[in-house]
Structures are given as structure tokens and as C-alpha cells.
Structure 1
Amino acid sequence: MASIRDVAKRAGVTVTTVSRVLNNRGYISEETRKKVYKAMEELNYQPNELARALYRKRSYFIGLIIPDVSHPFFGEVAKYIEYYAYLRGYKILLCNSYLDEKKEKEYINMLKRHQVDGIIMGSHTLDVEDYKKVNLPIVALDRVLSEDIPYVTSDNYRGAVMATNLLIEKGCRFLAHISGPLQLNTPANDRYYGFMHVVSQRSVKHVVVETRLNKFDINEYKDIVSQLFKKYPEIDGVFASSDLIAAVVIRVAEDFGKKVPESLKVVGFDDVNIASIMKPSITTVRQYKDKMAQKAIDLIINKIEGNNVEVSNVIPIDLIEREST
């Protein structure tokens, strides 16, 4: 395996010059850079990234911990986070916590051992003090970890108000809201509060059910929706807290002889890819996942560089009407 000395010898420069090229330090002529890169290529030299990180006091790696990359929302956000991190010269180390406290702790420790410069947290199973002890810049994604850790979210409350009002304006008289687990402290809980505000203000009959904690389980969603339709067959409008749940609602509705949108209208949340390709396509509240990701990267890099940032960062939403209403 080639060493930095071998590269220096092949390029006809000093070891210090090769080090400066690798770490982009000091003035190096373009001709010298080309010589060093050519020697590295010929010798198949791979720099020791950990050593470079220690020298530069920065690794240019950012940890990303999310509940489940297979969930459409988190998968799409992770894609954009990687994209915007790359544009800024950073790489992403991706971790799936599955909302498991033990795994989340292990991943945080692993990321620290790998000298990441900061962590974007899309998972939230630990106590506030645990996050404060991480001793690295942290930005929360669609989570509130503590009053002084910056977070990025969408305008969940306004989105819920818009979705619920649309269902009522479309003639729905008995609404169901399928919420995420409200015991988890996330900005997404504002979808529940927005729904409750509208149905209370407009005196509309309603019911709310919650999904279980630590689960993004299609079979669980099917069971919840089936029980909902069995117990309340007169439901004619559903506001689901995600497009994935909305898709399940539409599928289960067929089994109960409910036609969408004729006898049942459905609104989701997120506007992930499946929302527009479903049949019927899903009316939904669009979260701008690209903007959320870009803001998260801006915040974490600013934190890494020691700059002050806003704690609350709320991205506007839009209601996208499609065939399900």
C-alpha cells in the first residue's frame, strides 16, 4: 500500500507539499496540485481520512439519525439532505434508529467515534439531558429535542387546518383523524391540534385514533382503519397524518364498499411520491422536503462553524388537491 512519502517521491515534491494539497492548506500552484493528484492516481493512494480530520479539526462528515429510511417521508428527506450536504463539501453517515432507545444511543456514540462534525436528529427517544451531553452541534429534524437545540419542521398546524376545512367544505359530516403517537413530543402533533381546532370551532362530529409508538407498520395501519370503519361506518372524511396512512385508508375503504371520493374523502400529509401515483391520487398537505433538508444542512454547518442560529425554523406548506377529495 502506497504511503504519503511514496506520493511525494513520485510527484517530485516534499511530504509537506503533499499534505498541503490533501488538506487544501497554504498556497500550492495548479501545476504542483496536478503532479500530486497524478501521483496519487498512479499509486492508487487513499488518504487516511481520520488522520486528515484530526489535522484539520474537521472531518466533513455529518451524522443523520432517522427512524426508518424505508418510510417515504424520511427516505425523501434523507435524499435531499445528502444532496445539499454534498454541495457544501460534506458527506452523510446515515443511521436507522427504528425509534429504539438503545440503537439511538449506540449510533450517537458510533458517530462520535467516527469524528463527525455534527448530527442531524430525526429520531427522538432519549431524554433532553442525553442530547445535551452529546457535546456536538445538533439540529433536530421534525423533532423538538430541547428549548435550545435548533429544529426544522413544516407548518403542521396550518396544514391540518387547511386539510380539515377542505373535508368539511366538500360536504363531510363525520371526520376521522388518524394521528401519530401524541406521547412523542414532535411538531407533527400540531396536525392533531389543528384538526381539533377546526372540528370544535365548526361543531363537526369527529373521532381521533393514534398509531402506536415506535411503529411504521402497514399491517397496524390496516387494522386501525378496519376497526375505525367497523365501529364508525358513517365516517365520510379522513384526515391522515401521513400519505402512507392515507394510502392504506383508500385501500381498506374498498373492502368496506366505500368509494373514494364519492362516499369517503381522504386527505393525507407529506406529498411523498406515492401520493400522486395512487389511484385515486391523494389530496395532501405538501411538505417541502427539499427546503427542510436545505435548511437543516444550513443550520448544522452554521453550528459547526460556531455561528448563532434561530431555534425554530418553520417551512411553509401547501394544500394539493387531487382525486381523493
Structure 2
Amino acid sequence: MVGMRDVAKKAGVSASSVSLVINGTGYVSDDMRKRVESAMRELNYVPNELARHFYRGRTGIVGVIVPTIRHPFFSTLTSALQHEFASRGLRTMLCSTADVEGGESQYVDMLRQHSLDALVVAAHTVHDAEYWSSIHRPIIAFDRYLGGDIAQVSSDHEQGGRLLADLLLRTGAKRVVMVGGPRSQFDDLGEGRTTFPTVRYVKTLEQRLDEAHIRHDYFEAGEVNDTEGIHPAVIRAFKECPRMDAFIGSDVAAAFAVQEARLRGINVPKKLQVIAYDGTMVADFAGLPMTVVQQDFTKIAAAIGERVEAQIDDDERVRDALIPVTLRESATTR
């Protein structure tokens, strides 16, 4: 196996000079750099990335904590994050809290022990803000509020609520039904504050519907990791609100709503608008074109990647980021 000393011998330089070229630490002349790079190509030498990271006091690994990868939103998000981190020379270590008991605390311990360079938290946590700020290591929250000291990346869910309200008002909706997480998440910090930014689209939409005197109902589908609770909640919505003319939920809930409408002989979208909130591929598998509030996973991942890298480089000027959402209407609602 070709090693660094072989490259040094081929280039006629010291091993330490080869290390400087590979790791980008310290000054080397252009001539020396060219000789080393030429020797590496001739010998087909590939630097050991892990060794390079350890040389810099890093691992090159970012931990990502999600509630579950069974939910299409988090599998799509994870895919986007892995692609983004790879483009930055980082690897992803994934933890699904629904599938690995105690996974969150294990990853925090790894972060504290410098076995991880950074941590992205996209799952609900029982720890308070003081716990997260006391870690003093790079942490980015996605769609979660972990405290004022922890940078947060979220989609602009208030904008999502406004887009939904404008659509429903324009299309003349009279009875709106929403399926989502527990209402307790809307006020889990008290006084109307929440650690779940996603609920803002529902709160914004409900406020606009109240102002327009449009009746609306909300059905709880359980925690986000309880994917088996979504379908029963959709069935309950159809049973209790047979005259609804607009249905809103996650991509999974919306897909179930299309199926349930077909079983009941309800024409979608003539009699019932079905609107999906997320924009994963599941929304395209429902069997009918649906209107979708699209979260931009590529931009979300890029914003997280930028903040992870900045914190790894000890940049303390990392701020929150709101990523715009868009409304993708099906041709039948335009």
C-alpha cells in the first residue's frame, strides 16, 4: 500500500511537507505543492480522510437525531443532509430516537467527548434550554426550539399558514379539516410558546379562518413517530365531518385522505380539496394530483450545512434561518 513516505520519496521532499500539502496547514511553495500533487497522482495515493480529520482535531462526522426514518419527511430530510454534508467533506451518523432507546443521550455524550464534530437535533427532546447551552459544542436545531443559544433552522411555517389561508379563501372553502400532531405541542412551553415551530402553520391558518368565519376542525394523529396513528385519525375526520370540503395534513395524511374519499365516493378535488403539507414523493403517490405546500429540502440542508461548518470553525456569529415554502397547486384548483 502506498503511504505518505512513498509520496515524499517520489516528490523529493520530506514527509512533513507532504502532510502540509494534504492537510492544507502551513505554507508550502507552489513548486513543492505541484511536485507533491504530481507524485500523488503517479502513485495513485489517496489521503486517509479520517487521519486528516484527526490531525486537525476533528472526526469529520456529524450526528443527526430524528424522531424516526419511517416517516417520509425525515427520510427525505436525512437524504438531503447526507448529500449536503458529503459535499462539505463530512459524514453523517444517523440516530432515530423511536428506534434506538437512549440514542439522544448517547449522541450528546459522543459530542462532548469529541467523537462527533457537531450535532443536528431534529427530534423532540425532554431536556431544557440550559441543558443544551451547557454542552458548549456545535449544535444546530431543525424545526425545534432548544433555547436561545442554539441556532435553529426551520421552514417558514407562518408563511405556509398564510399560503393555505389565501388558497382556501380564494377557492371558497366552507368546512376545513386538519389532521396533525397533539394539540399539547402548540403550547408546550406555556403562554402560547412552543418548541415545535411546525405548529405555526396550523395556528396561522386557524386565525385566518376564524377571521373569515370559516368553520374548521382539528384531529390529533399522535406524535410524528406514530405513523400508524395517521390513518385512524383520517378515518375519524371523515366520519365526524362528512361535509368537509377541504382537508389538510402531512403528505401521508393527505394520501390517506384521497384513499378514504374514493372509498366514500367523494370526488377529489370537485367535492373535496386535499392539500398536503411537506412535499415529499409521497404526495405524488396518492393517485391524484394534490395541491402541496412544498418545503425546500435542498435549501434546508444547505442552511444546516452552512451553520454546522461555521460552528465547527468556531464562528460564534451563527444565526437562525427561515427557509421559504412554496405552494404547488394542482391544475384543478387554479
TM-score by length of 1: 0.86
Moved more, 75-84 or 1-10: 1-10
Relative to structure 2, which stretch is displaced further, 4-13 or 53-62? 4-13
Amino acid at match of 1:162: L
CA distance in 1, matches of 2:65, 2:41: 34
Give the stretch that moved more between structures: 152-161 or 7-16: 7-16
Superposed, 1:167-206 pairs within 5 Å as 167-184=168-185, 185-206=195-216
Q: State the AA in 1 paired with 2:143.
A: D
User: Per-residue CA shift, 1:147-178, capped at 9, x if unaligned?
Assistant: 12111111212212321342343232111111
Matched residue, 2:143: 142
Task: Report what 1:96 is aligned to.
Answer: 96
CA distance in 1, matches of 2:329, 2:196: 26
Contact 2:11–2:35 (CA<8 Å) still a contact in 1?
A: no
Larger mean Cα displacement after TM superposition, 129-138 or 242-251: 129-138
**Alignment-derived partner of residue 272 in structure 1:** 280
1:280, 1:323 within 8 Å by CA — same for their partners in 2?
A: no
Residue number among 304, 316, 322 corresponding to 2:312 in the alignment: 304
Instruction: Note the residue ranges of structure 1 that are not aligned, 5 or more in a row.
Output: none
Residues 47 and 155 (structure 1 numbering): CA distance in 2 closer, same or farther, change over 3 Å? closer
- Stretches of structure 2 that go unaligned for 5 or more consecutive residues are 186-194
> Which residue in the other structure is 1:235 paired with?
244
* CA displacement at 1:282 relative to structure 2: 1.4
Q: CA deviation at 1:125?
A: 1.6
Let me know the Cα RMSD of the aligned residues: 2.7
- Please give the alpha-carbon distance, in whole angstroms, between the structure 2 residues aligned to 1:80 and 1:198: 33
1:238-260 per-residue CA deviation (whole Å, 9 max, x = no partner) reads 121x2221111111222222221
Cα deviation for residue 2 of structure 1 reads 7.2
Quick one: which amino acid aligns to residue 150 of structure 2? I
**Aligned counterpart, 1:124:** 124
The answer on whether the counterparts of 1:266 and 1:324 sit within 8 Å (CA) in structure 2 is: no
**In structure 1, distance between residues paired with 2:298 and 2:254:** 22
Cα separation, 2, equivalents of 1:98 and 1:121: 14
Q: C-alpha distance in 2, partners of 1:310/1:178? A: 34
> CA contact under 8 A between 2:151 and 2:320: conserved in structure 1?
yes
Pairwise CA distance, 1:101:
6.7
Higher alpha-carbon deviation: 313-322 or 61-70: 61-70
Sequence identity (%) = 27
Q: How many residues align?
A: 319
Partner of 1:140: helix, strand, or coil? strand
- 2:164: which partner in 1? 163
